[in-house]
Structure 1
Amino acid sequence: MEYSADLPLVQVLADGRFHSGADLGEVLGISRAAIWKRIQRLAELGLDVESVRGKGYRLARPLDLLDESRLSEGLAGRAELIFSPVTGSTNADALALAVEGREGPLVVTTEFQSAGRGRRGRQWRSPFAANIYLSVLYRLPGGFASLGGLSLAAGVAVSQVLEQACPGLPLGLKWPNDLLVEGRKLGGVLIELAGEIETQVQVVVGVGINVAMLDAQADSIDQPWTSLLQYGDLSMSRTELAESLSGALLNMLDTFVARGFAAFVPAYRELDLVRDKAVTVITAGKSQTGIARGVAEDGALCVEIEGKRHYLHGGEVSLRLQ
């Protein structure tokens, strides 16, 4: 579905006020019938439009749209911004740019993903202008020994920004890539390898954060979830949040190259939700129950099963808290 023709309508309706069909048609230079057709398509973007006879149309709530110019200025000198209001997946876009020969650092973000995805190919619900969908393409030195712990380091960097955006947020990390608040998923990290040659390794660090998602926009999510606005007013706009997250991830990657995950272990331990908890480890269809004993300096999770310690890596297993 091509949504570009609908975006000017979204921008007019973003204020959350009523706009008559006639006024919208005049502003956008199209007929009232065309306005009605475009209004119907907005549901595909995850937007709830109210229609009241005699008043016109309005969104169920105002939108805090991303400011592309401000984001670009905020990243100047550090990374190039790639912004599309609507896309399939920011991670997929970053991977495609790497294949085309583009080198990081690049920051790819959007208002809406039609094919957002999480770990193990799961769908990531991505309604328009409700959350943060952001990916960083970054070049690591050739021969870089290990990416172990990168998703954990990213989780630490993201958590620190979110705690500033929403003071008092009871946030923690569930190995290897989930950000949880009171047992409900607030966001996640997806690491993908973009390409490897002798001189460099390109990685994509993807982050999805639920900011202001409504229940109606999350009807297909099959696990407990939450959003930042459920924990009070934010101290940052979505643009400021995206800018802060981008900067934090770039700083994290610089540190990770220099010092590896070891630099993030103390901070991760403070956020670790599974340490000394009973967990179920699922690998190759087999389930085992044990006690999590923290993470190693390569990001592996230590799980004690029947008195023996096992070290697990994120690509191998799924983990469930008991």
Structure 2
Amino acid sequence: MPRTPAANAERISDLLGAKSFWRIRTIEVTGSTNEDLADLARQGAGSGEVLIAEHQAAGRGRFERVWQSPPGSSISTSVLLRPRREPFVWGWLSLLIGLAVTDGLRALGGGDRVQLKWPNDALIDGKKVCGILSEVVTTEWGNAAICGWGINVSLDESELPVPQATSLLLAGLPTDKDLVSAAVLGRLGDLFARWDAGEDLSAEYAAGCATVGRSVRVHLDAESPDSPSVTGQAVGIGEHGELLVELGDRVEAFAAGDVVHLR
């Protein structure tokens, strides 16, 4: 499958505008953009660093799962953040990235076909288009958050890692990597600034999350689809990003777990 041109840091910065929070660098190939920025954080780099790679040779997802795609078919992005807020609320960062990715793709023409499944699964027509991994790094200058995501851009059906995945190309959405990167980074910059200033974004996240308001099954062990589960109605998002599920006569908060949307 022919690949779209590589991401261009200067063009992305121009699209974001002179007041952008981000300092962007693009590279052709690396082991892991998260690992690269973790090293940068340990050297004292500040909040706002962005690294975008055309290919990761050792990309990772949650639970140490391998996240790889053919060279040039995806955009792998990591950002370095040093939040001022207490570390116990940093779990919000993964949720905000999920919201930034889905809102960015909606703005590029995806509309209601793009959905966010709690906590941070970006879906197009019900299929996953993006993987997200956030990590905390300890440095001499305090803790830093390294937040990474990989968006399937131009994979064809034969290249998809699983049948439940898709790409921007297959979904008929723009495959211009600069436009996609700018759309996501622009939204994330706004969300992070407001959250870091102490704003409660739970209602805004809930409004953009397709999980809220529907019947769900929550598997308590996210790594195992055969783990114990509960079924109920997702009714909201807690102050720390938990999914609030109505179970009969009570509402329970789930900080982790794998969610299945029920029809």
Q: What is the TM-score of this pair, normalised by structure 2?
A: 0.84
Residue of 92, 95, 105 corresponding to 1:162 = 105
- Whether contact under 8 Å (1:148, 1:300) holds in the other structure is no
Residue aligning to 2:178 = 239
1:1-322 map, 5 Å = 60-71=1-12, 78-141=21-84, 143-195=86-138, 200-218=142-160, 221-234=161-174, 237-260=176-199, 262-273=200-211, 275-283=213-221, 286-291=227-232, 292-305=234-247, 307-314=249-256, 317-322=257-262
Larger Rg: 1
Q: Which has the higher contact order (CA 8 A, sep 6+)?
A: 2
Q: CA deviation at 1:259?
A: 2.8
SS at match of 2:147: strand
CA distances 1:153-201 after superposition (whole Å, capped 9, x unpaired): 222222221112224351111111211122211113222112267x743
Residue 87 of structure 1 aligns with an amino acid whose one-letter code is: T
Q: Measured at CA, do residues 238 and 320 of structure 1 come closer, stay the same or move farther in structure 2, by a change above 3 Å?
A: same
CA distance in 1, matches of 2:68, 2:208: 29
Alpha-carbon offset, residue 300 of structure 1:
0.6
How big is the alpha-carbon RMSD for the aligned residues of Structure 1 and Structure 2? 2.6
Identity among equivalent pairs (%): 29
Q: What is the aligned length?
A: 256
- Separation of aligned partners in 2, 1:288 and 1:304: 14
Gap regions ≥5 residues in structure 1? 1-59
C-alpha distance in structure 2 between counterparts of 1:87 and 1:80, whole Å:
18
Distance 1:248 1:164, change over 3 A: same
Q: CA deviation at 1:94?
A: 1.4
Q: Which amino acid aligns with 2:190?
A: N
Q: Distance in 2 between matches of 1:158 and 1:63?
A: 19
Gaps of 5+ in 2: none
C-alpha distance in 1 between matches for 2:26 and 2:48 = 14
Contact 1:116 1:123 in 2 (8 A): yes
TM-score by length of 1: 0.70
- Distance, in Å, in 1 between the alignment partners of 2:155 and 2:112 is 17
Cα distance change on mapping 1:258 and 1:282 into 2, 3 Å: same
SS at match of 1:256: helix
